Protein backbone atom coordinates (compact mmCIF):
# COMPACT_ATOMS: atom_id res chain seq x y z
CA UNK A 1 0.00 0.00 0.00
CA UNK A 2 1.10 3.52 -0.68
CA UNK A 3 2.11 5.85 2.12
CA UNK A 4 -0.27 8.83 2.40
CA UNK A 5 0.64 12.32 3.54
CA UNK A 6 -0.99 15.62 4.30
CA UNK A 7 0.54 18.13 1.94
CA UNK A 8 -1.33 21.29 2.82
CA UNK A 9 -3.95 22.80 5.09
CA UNK A 10 -5.99 25.99 4.88
CA UNK A 11 -9.21 27.31 6.33
CA UNK A 12 -11.46 30.34 6.37
CA UNK A 13 -11.72 32.45 9.48
CA UNK A 14 -14.35 31.01 11.81
CA UNK A 15 -17.12 33.40 12.83
CA UNK A 16 -20.22 33.28 14.99
CA UNK A 17 -23.29 32.13 13.11
CA UNK A 18 -25.97 34.80 12.55
CA UNK A 19 -24.19 37.71 14.23
CA UNK A 20 -20.78 36.97 12.75
CA UNK A 21 -19.01 38.37 9.72
CA UNK A 22 -19.54 35.35 7.48
CA UNK A 23 -23.30 35.11 7.87
CA UNK A 24 -23.87 36.72 4.48
CA UNK A 25 -21.45 34.43 2.64
CA UNK A 26 -22.79 31.37 0.85
CA UNK A 27 -21.12 28.22 2.17
CA UNK A 28 -20.18 26.99 -1.33
CA UNK A 29 -18.45 30.29 -2.02
CA UNK A 30 -16.70 30.12 1.33
CA UNK A 31 -15.22 26.67 0.73
CA UNK A 32 -14.40 27.41 -2.92
CA UNK A 33 -12.23 30.32 -1.78
CA UNK A 34 -10.41 28.06 0.69
CA UNK A 35 -9.92 25.25 -1.86
CA UNK A 36 -8.59 27.66 -4.47
CA UNK A 37 -6.14 29.07 -1.92
CA UNK A 38 -5.05 25.57 -0.86
CA UNK A 39 -4.31 24.58 -4.44
CA UNK A 40 -2.42 27.79 -5.03
CA UNK A 41 -0.43 27.62 -1.78
CA UNK A 42 0.60 23.96 -2.14
CA UNK A 43 1.39 24.30 -5.82
CA UNK A 44 -0.31 21.00 -6.60
CA UNK A 45 -1.00 20.60 -10.29
CA UNK A 46 -4.81 20.86 -10.57
CA UNK A 47 -4.75 18.35 -13.41
CA UNK A 48 -3.48 15.72 -10.96
CA UNK A 49 -6.42 16.03 -8.58
CA UNK A 50 -8.30 12.76 -8.63
CA UNK A 51 -11.20 13.73 -6.41
CA UNK A 52 -12.66 16.46 -4.20
CA UNK A 53 -14.27 15.05 -1.06
CA UNK A 54 -16.28 17.51 1.04
CA UNK A 55 -17.76 16.88 4.46
CA UNK A 56 -20.94 18.62 5.53
CA UNK A 57 -23.30 17.81 8.43
CA UNK A 58 -26.46 19.34 6.96
CA UNK A 59 -25.94 19.11 3.20
CA UNK A 60 -28.99 21.00 1.98
CA UNK A 61 -29.89 24.44 0.67
CA UNK A 62 -26.78 26.32 -0.40
CA UNK A 63 -24.58 23.46 0.83
CA UNK A 64 -26.89 20.88 -0.70
CA UNK A 65 -26.88 19.04 -4.03
CA UNK A 66 -23.35 17.65 -4.39
CA UNK A 67 -21.72 20.68 -2.83
CA UNK A 68 -18.25 19.22 -3.51
CA UNK A 69 -18.90 19.49 -7.23
CA UNK A 70 -20.28 23.02 -6.93
CA UNK A 71 -17.21 24.02 -4.94
CA UNK A 72 -14.90 22.45 -7.55
CA UNK A 73 -16.52 24.53 -10.28
CA UNK A 74 -16.41 27.69 -8.19
CA UNK A 75 -12.75 27.04 -7.34
CA UNK A 76 -12.07 26.59 -11.06
CA UNK A 77 -10.66 23.07 -10.65
CA UNK A 78 -10.50 21.15 -13.91
CA UNK A 79 -13.61 19.21 -14.84
CA UNK A 80 -11.52 16.03 -14.71
CA UNK A 81 -11.33 16.22 -10.90
CA UNK A 82 -14.28 14.22 -9.53
CA UNK A 83 -16.22 15.31 -6.47
CA UNK A 84 -18.27 13.73 -3.70
CA UNK A 85 -19.94 14.93 -0.55
CA UNK A 86 -19.80 12.94 2.66
CA UNK A 87 -21.78 13.17 5.87
CA UNK A 88 -20.63 11.89 9.22
CA UNK A 89 -22.02 14.95 11.02
CA UNK A 90 -19.17 16.59 12.96
CA UNK A 91 -16.73 13.97 11.70
CA UNK A 92 -17.56 14.63 8.07
CA UNK A 93 -14.37 16.26 6.84
CA UNK A 94 -12.09 13.98 8.86
CA UNK A 95 -14.02 11.20 7.17
CA UNK A 96 -13.21 12.88 3.84
CA UNK A 97 -9.51 12.60 4.71
CA UNK A 98 -9.94 8.96 5.69
CA UNK A 99 -11.64 8.21 2.38
CA UNK A 100 -8.89 9.97 0.50
CA UNK A 101 -6.21 8.11 2.45
CA UNK A 102 -7.90 4.78 1.74
CA UNK A 103 -8.24 5.51 -1.95
CA UNK A 104 -4.66 6.71 -2.36
CA UNK A 105 -3.31 3.79 -0.31
CA UNK A 106 -4.90 1.33 -2.70
CA UNK A 107 -3.66 3.23 -5.71
CA UNK A 108 -6.86 5.01 -6.67
CA UNK A 109 -5.32 8.40 -7.26
CA UNK A 110 -2.38 10.47 -6.03
CA UNK A 111 -3.87 13.79 -4.98
CA UNK A 112 -7.24 14.41 -3.36
CA UNK A 113 -8.63 17.66 -1.99
CA UNK A 114 -10.55 17.09 1.25
CA UNK A 115 -12.75 19.90 2.46
CA UNK A 116 -15.36 20.66 5.07
CA UNK A 117 -18.10 23.24 5.17
CA UNK A 118 -20.88 24.45 7.42
CA UNK A 119 -22.78 27.70 7.41
CA UNK A 120 -24.78 27.44 10.58
CA UNK A 121 -26.18 30.89 9.82
CA UNK A 122 -27.69 29.90 6.55
CA UNK A 123 -28.61 26.26 7.11
CA UNK A 124 -30.03 25.56 10.59
CA UNK A 125 -28.84 22.62 12.67
CA UNK A 126 -31.31 19.78 11.97
CA UNK A 127 -31.84 21.31 8.53
CA UNK A 128 -34.87 23.10 7.18
CA UNK A 129 -37.06 20.05 7.29
CA UNK A 130 -36.31 17.92 10.34
CA UNK A 131 -38.38 14.75 9.93
CA UNK A 132 -37.35 12.27 12.61
CA UNK A 133 -38.67 8.71 12.57
CA UNK A 134 -41.73 8.58 14.85
CA UNK A 135 -41.31 4.87 15.62
CA UNK A 136 -37.64 5.18 16.51
CA UNK A 137 -38.32 8.22 18.67
CA UNK A 138 -40.78 6.10 20.60
CA UNK A 139 -38.76 2.90 20.90
CA UNK A 140 -35.28 4.42 21.25
CA UNK A 141 -35.54 8.14 22.10
CA UNK A 142 -31.80 8.27 22.86
CA UNK A 143 -31.24 8.09 19.10
CA UNK A 144 -32.46 11.69 18.93
CA UNK A 145 -30.68 12.98 22.04
CA UNK A 146 -30.01 16.68 21.80
CA UNK A 147 -26.31 17.48 21.81
CA UNK A 148 -26.47 19.66 24.91
CA UNK A 149 -28.17 16.93 26.89
CA UNK A 150 -25.51 14.39 25.88
CA UNK A 151 -22.94 16.79 27.34
CA UNK A 152 -24.95 16.96 30.57
CA UNK A 153 -25.10 13.17 30.64
CA UNK A 154 -21.34 12.94 30.28
CA UNK A 155 -20.78 15.62 32.93
CA UNK A 156 -22.94 13.66 35.34
CA UNK A 157 -21.41 10.28 34.53
CA UNK A 158 -17.87 11.63 34.97
CA UNK A 159 -18.83 13.88 37.91
CA UNK A 160 -17.41 16.90 36.09
CA UNK A 161 -18.18 20.12 37.89
CA UNK A 162 -19.19 23.32 36.24
CA UNK A 163 -15.97 24.90 37.48
CA UNK A 164 -13.86 22.23 35.79
CA UNK A 165 -15.71 22.81 32.53
CA UNK A 166 -15.30 26.56 32.83
CA UNK A 167 -11.60 26.20 33.52
CA UNK A 168 -11.29 24.35 30.23
CA UNK A 169 -13.19 27.09 28.39
CA UNK A 170 -10.96 29.75 29.93
CA UNK A 171 -7.85 27.82 28.88
CA UNK A 172 -9.20 27.33 25.35
CA UNK A 173 -9.80 31.05 24.91
CA UNK A 174 -6.45 31.93 26.47
CA UNK A 175 -4.57 29.60 24.09
CA UNK A 176 -6.52 30.78 21.05
CA UNK A 177 -6.14 34.44 21.98
CA UNK A 178 -2.40 34.00 22.49
CA UNK A 179 -2.07 32.24 19.14
CA UNK A 180 -4.08 34.93 17.41
CA UNK A 181 -2.09 37.68 19.08
CA UNK A 182 1.23 36.05 18.11
CA UNK A 183 0.06 35.57 14.53
CA UNK A 184 0.24 31.79 14.77
CA UNK A 185 -3.17 31.41 13.11
CA UNK A 186 -2.38 33.68 10.22
CA UNK A 187 -0.77 31.08 7.94
CA UNK A 188 -3.70 28.70 7.95
CA UNK A 189 -6.37 31.37 7.39
CA UNK A 190 -7.58 32.39 3.94
CA UNK A 191 -9.00 35.91 3.81
CA UNK A 192 -12.65 35.94 2.72
CA UNK A 193 -14.36 38.72 0.85
CA UNK A 194 -17.84 39.50 2.19
CA UNK A 195 -20.41 42.16 1.30
CA UNK A 196 -19.12 44.08 4.32
CA UNK A 197 -15.41 43.84 3.59
CA UNK A 198 -12.59 41.33 3.85
CA UNK A 199 -12.56 39.02 6.89
CA UNK A 200 -9.19 37.59 7.89
CA UNK A 201 -9.43 36.95 11.62
CA UNK A 202 -11.38 34.44 13.68
CA UNK A 203 -14.44 36.00 15.24
CA UNK A 204 -15.37 33.71 18.12
CA UNK A 205 -12.28 34.07 20.32
CA UNK A 206 -12.88 36.11 23.46
CA UNK A 207 -9.53 37.25 24.89
CA UNK A 208 -9.60 37.93 28.59
CA UNK A 209 -12.23 35.29 29.35
CA UNK A 210 -12.23 34.60 33.08
CA UNK A 211 -13.80 31.97 35.28
CA UNK A 212 -15.62 34.69 37.21
CA UNK A 213 -17.05 36.06 33.98
CA UNK A 214 -18.43 32.65 33.01
CA UNK A 215 -19.83 31.75 36.39
CA UNK A 216 -22.88 33.97 36.01
CA UNK A 217 -24.28 32.25 32.92
CA UNK A 218 -27.42 30.16 33.12
CA UNK A 219 -27.28 26.49 32.17
CA UNK A 220 -28.00 26.29 28.44
CA UNK A 221 -29.71 22.92 28.09
CA UNK A 222 -30.86 21.67 31.47
CA UNK A 223 -32.40 23.95 34.09
CA UNK A 224 -30.31 22.42 36.90
CA UNK A 225 -27.42 21.37 34.67
CA UNK A 226 -23.78 22.39 34.51
CA UNK A 227 -23.24 23.01 30.78
CA UNK A 228 -23.50 26.63 29.68
CA UNK A 229 -23.12 28.47 26.38
CA UNK A 230 -19.56 29.27 27.44
CA UNK A 231 -18.61 25.63 27.95
CA UNK A 232 -20.11 24.62 24.61
CA UNK A 233 -18.68 25.31 21.18
CA UNK A 234 -20.60 28.16 19.52
CA UNK A 235 -22.71 27.90 16.36
CA UNK A 236 -20.16 28.83 13.72
CA UNK A 237 -19.69 29.54 10.04
CA UNK A 238 -16.51 28.23 8.47
CA UNK A 239 -14.78 26.10 5.88
CA UNK A 240 -11.51 24.13 5.83
CA UNK A 241 -9.49 22.03 3.39
CA UNK A 242 -6.56 19.64 3.42
CA UNK A 243 -4.53 18.28 0.49
CA UNK A 244 -4.03 14.53 0.83
CA UNK A 245 -1.48 12.88 -1.50
CA UNK A 246 0.67 9.83 -1.77
CA UNK A 247 4.07 10.38 -0.18
CA UNK A 248 5.85 9.62 -3.42
CA UNK A 249 3.72 12.09 -5.38
CA UNK A 250 4.36 14.82 -2.80
CA UNK A 251 8.06 14.21 -2.86
CA UNK A 252 8.23 13.96 -6.66
CA UNK A 253 6.39 17.26 -7.03
CA UNK A 254 8.05 19.10 -4.16
CA UNK A 255 4.84 19.57 -2.20
CA UNK A 256 5.18 20.82 1.39
CA UNK A 257 4.57 17.64 3.40
CA UNK A 258 3.19 18.30 6.88
CA UNK A 259 2.71 14.74 8.15
CA UNK A 260 2.16 11.13 7.21
CA UNK A 261 -1.19 9.48 8.00
CA UNK A 262 -0.25 6.57 10.25
CA UNK A 263 -3.62 5.12 11.16
CA UNK A 264 -7.33 5.90 11.17
CA UNK A 265 -10.39 4.65 13.03
CA UNK A 266 -14.08 5.23 13.65
CA UNK A 267 -16.14 3.79 16.48
CA UNK A 268 -19.73 3.87 17.66
CA UNK A 269 -20.94 4.50 21.19
CA UNK A 270 -24.23 5.12 23.00
CA UNK A 271 -25.94 8.14 21.40
CA UNK A 272 -26.91 9.69 24.75
CA UNK A 273 -23.20 10.06 25.58
CA UNK A 274 -21.98 10.74 22.06
CA UNK A 275 -19.21 12.95 23.45
CA UNK A 276 -17.34 9.85 24.58
CA UNK A 277 -16.94 8.67 20.97
CA UNK A 278 -13.26 9.74 20.71
CA UNK A 279 -12.30 7.28 23.45
CA UNK A 280 -12.89 4.03 21.53
CA UNK A 281 -11.97 5.65 18.21
CA UNK A 282 -8.61 6.98 19.45
CA UNK A 283 -7.86 3.74 21.27
CA UNK A 284 -8.43 1.80 18.04
CA UNK A 285 -6.30 4.19 16.01
CA UNK A 286 -3.49 4.05 18.59
CA UNK A 287 -3.59 0.26 18.60
CA UNK A 288 -3.49 0.16 14.80
CA UNK A 289 -0.47 2.45 14.85
CA UNK A 290 1.16 0.35 17.52
CA UNK A 291 1.41 3.37 19.75
CA UNK A 292 0.28 4.42 23.21
CA UNK A 293 -1.07 7.84 24.19
CA UNK A 294 2.32 8.54 25.81
CA UNK A 295 3.89 8.53 22.36
CA UNK A 296 1.65 11.37 21.19
CA UNK A 297 3.22 14.81 21.23
CA UNK A 298 0.37 16.79 19.68
CA UNK A 299 -3.33 16.22 20.38
CA UNK A 300 -6.14 18.01 18.56
CA UNK A 301 -9.28 16.97 20.39
CA UNK A 302 -12.42 18.73 19.28
CA UNK A 303 -14.11 20.65 22.09
CA UNK A 304 -17.73 20.18 21.14
CA UNK A 305 -18.38 20.61 24.85
CA UNK A 306 -15.90 21.03 27.68
CA UNK A 307 -17.60 18.16 29.50
CA UNK A 308 -17.07 15.57 26.77
CA UNK A 309 -13.54 16.78 26.03
CA UNK A 310 -12.62 16.49 29.73
CA UNK A 311 -14.06 12.96 29.88
CA UNK A 312 -12.04 11.93 26.83
CA UNK A 313 -8.86 13.50 28.22
CA UNK A 314 -9.35 11.57 31.43
CA UNK A 315 -10.07 8.17 29.86
CA UNK A 316 -7.48 8.45 27.13
CA UNK A 317 -4.86 9.81 29.52
CA UNK A 318 -4.08 12.84 27.36
CA UNK A 319 -1.26 15.03 28.65
CA UNK A 320 -2.78 18.52 28.74
CA UNK A 321 0.54 20.02 27.68
CA UNK A 322 -0.01 18.40 24.27
CA UNK A 323 -3.66 19.45 23.95
CA UNK A 324 -5.12 21.93 21.48
CA UNK A 325 -2.05 24.14 21.55
CA UNK A 326 -3.66 27.03 19.65
CA UNK A 327 -7.05 26.67 21.32
CA UNK A 328 -10.02 24.43 20.65
CA UNK A 329 -13.53 24.67 19.31
CA UNK A 330 -14.93 26.37 22.42
CA UNK A 331 -12.81 29.39 21.51
CA UNK A 332 -12.36 28.99 17.76
CA UNK A 333 -15.82 27.71 16.91
CA UNK A 334 -17.19 24.50 15.49
CA UNK A 335 -18.65 24.72 11.98
CA UNK A 336 -19.79 21.09 12.07
CA UNK A 337 -18.73 19.75 8.70
CA UNK A 338 -15.54 21.83 8.62
CA UNK A 339 -14.05 20.88 11.96
CA UNK A 340 -12.55 17.49 11.01
CA UNK A 341 -10.34 18.91 8.27
CA UNK A 342 -9.39 21.79 10.57
CA UNK A 343 -8.19 19.65 13.45
CA UNK A 344 -6.48 17.09 11.21
CA UNK A 345 -4.76 19.78 9.15
CA UNK A 346 -3.91 21.66 12.35
CA UNK A 347 -2.47 18.55 14.01
CA UNK A 348 -0.27 17.98 10.94
CA UNK A 349 0.89 21.60 10.93
CA UNK A 350 1.56 21.54 14.69
CA UNK A 351 3.53 18.32 14.38
CA UNK A 352 5.88 20.10 12.05
CA UNK A 353 5.93 23.36 14.00
CA UNK A 354 6.52 21.70 17.36
CA UNK A 355 8.97 19.13 16.03
CA UNK A 356 7.08 16.19 17.55
CA UNK A 357 6.90 12.65 16.27
CA UNK A 358 3.23 11.69 16.53
CA UNK A 359 -0.08 13.54 16.58
CA UNK A 360 -3.65 12.50 17.33
CA UNK A 361 -6.73 14.24 15.95
CA UNK A 362 -10.08 13.06 17.23
CA UNK A 363 -13.64 14.21 17.63
CA UNK A 364 -17.04 13.14 18.80
CA UNK A 365 -20.04 12.79 16.50
CA UNK A 366 -23.78 13.24 17.09
CA UNK A 367 -25.73 10.02 17.18
CA UNK A 368 -22.92 8.36 19.13
CA UNK A 369 -19.64 7.97 17.26
CA UNK A 370 -16.00 8.93 17.39
CA UNK A 371 -13.38 9.36 14.71
CA UNK A 372 -9.61 9.50 15.08
CA UNK A 373 -6.47 9.94 12.98
CA UNK A 374 -2.86 9.33 13.98
CA UNK A 375 -0.22 11.33 12.13
CA UNK A 376 3.52 10.99 12.18
CA UNK A 377 6.36 13.29 11.22
CA UNK A 378 7.99 12.67 7.87
Neighbours of 110 (CB within 10 A): 22
Which among 56, 90, 114, 269 is annotated as catalytic?
90
Dihedral angle computed from the Cα positions of residues 113, 342, 260 and 354, in that order, rounded to the nearest 10 degrees? 140
- Does 312 qualify as catalytic in the annotation? no
| Beta-carbon count within 10 A of 191 CB | 13
334 belongs to the catalytic site: yes
> Which residue, 102 or 144, is less far from other proteins as judged by CB?
144
Active-site hit among 204, 269, 312, 364: 364
- Among candidate residues 56, 173, 269, 334, the one labeled active-site is 334
Per CB under 8 A, the segment of 91-99, 127-135, 326-334, 363-371 that binds other proteins is 127-135
Q: Does 219 bind other proteins (CB under 8 A)?
A: yes
Least distance from C-beta 117 to other proteins, angstroms? 18
**Torsion angle in degrees (nearest 10) through CA of 272, 276, 278, 283:** -120
Options 207-215, 221-229, 290-298, 369-377: segment touching other proteins (CB under 8 A)? 221-229
Among 26, 40, 46, 61, binds other proteins (CB under 8 A): 61
98 belongs to the catalytic site: no
User: In 3D, which of 207, 203, 232 has the Cα closest to residue 219?
Assistant: 232
Burial class (CB in 10 A: 0-12, 13-18, 19+), 156: middle
From the CB of residue 80, how many other CB atoms can be counted at a distance below 10 Å? 10
Determine phi and psi for 140, rounding to 5 degrees.
-145, 70
Stretch that binds other proteins, among 39-47, 201-209, 214-222, 351-359 (CB under 8 A): 214-222
How far CA 134 is from CA of 10, 81, 128, 146, in Å, comes to 41, 41, 18, 16
Verify binding: residue 84, other proteins, rule CB under 8 A.
no
Return the sign of the alpha-carbon dihedral for residues 107, 108, 111, 116.
negative
Query: In this chain, which stretch among 17-25, 36-44, 215-223, 252-260 interacts with other proteins, using CB under 8 A?
Result: 215-223
Nearer of residues 219 and 256 to other proteins, judged by Cβ? 219
Catalytic residue IDs = 90, 334, 364
* Footprint on this chain of other proteins (rule: CB under 8 A): 61, 126, 128-134, 137, 144, 146, 148-149, 219-224
Amino acid sequence: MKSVVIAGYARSPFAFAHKGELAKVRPDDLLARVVAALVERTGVNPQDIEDVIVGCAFPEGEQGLNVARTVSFLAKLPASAAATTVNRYCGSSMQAIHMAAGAIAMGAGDAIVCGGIESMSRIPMMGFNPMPHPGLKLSYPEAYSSMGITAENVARRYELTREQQEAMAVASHAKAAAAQEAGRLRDEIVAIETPNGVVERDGCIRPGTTAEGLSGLKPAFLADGSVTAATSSPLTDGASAVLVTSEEYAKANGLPILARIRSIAVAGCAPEVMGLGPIPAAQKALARAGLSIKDIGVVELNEAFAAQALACIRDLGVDEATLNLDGGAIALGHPLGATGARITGKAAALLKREGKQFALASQCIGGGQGIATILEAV
